[in-house]
Structure 1
Amino acid sequence: MRWINSRQQTRDHAGQRNICAACGHDGTSRDPLINNTDGFRVHRSHTTDQRHGLYGTAQ
């Protein structure tokens, strides 16, 4: 089961479910949003790019 924190839940209810919490851009089929270990939805590329601060944080 994937964990979502209360701030992401607030974002979801405000219509931002498909907007990356890290960069503010929409998720796409080529770079979908996934849950990170902090409970936010972020682009998969943020968690796989070693140069990004979210590297390695995919749930």
Structure 2
Amino acid sequence: MASELVDLFEASLPKPSPSSSRPTSIPDADDVEDLLLQAMVDEFGCEVDDGSSPKVAMEVVDL
């Protein structure tokens, strides 16, 4: 799960090439939430339905 989150954020980093110097945006909380929910199902067979996923996703993005 952690490596998937790292991959999501690394994909938003600017590339070292001078031709692509425009900044890219970090993943939004909805994308992070979707990834976390899918990982919980895939890795643990657990459906998170207590309403906590949006807050957790925002906390991850804020880190």
- More strand, by proportion: 1
TM-score between the two structures when normalised by the length of structure 2 = 0.24
TM-score (normalised: structure 1)? 0.25
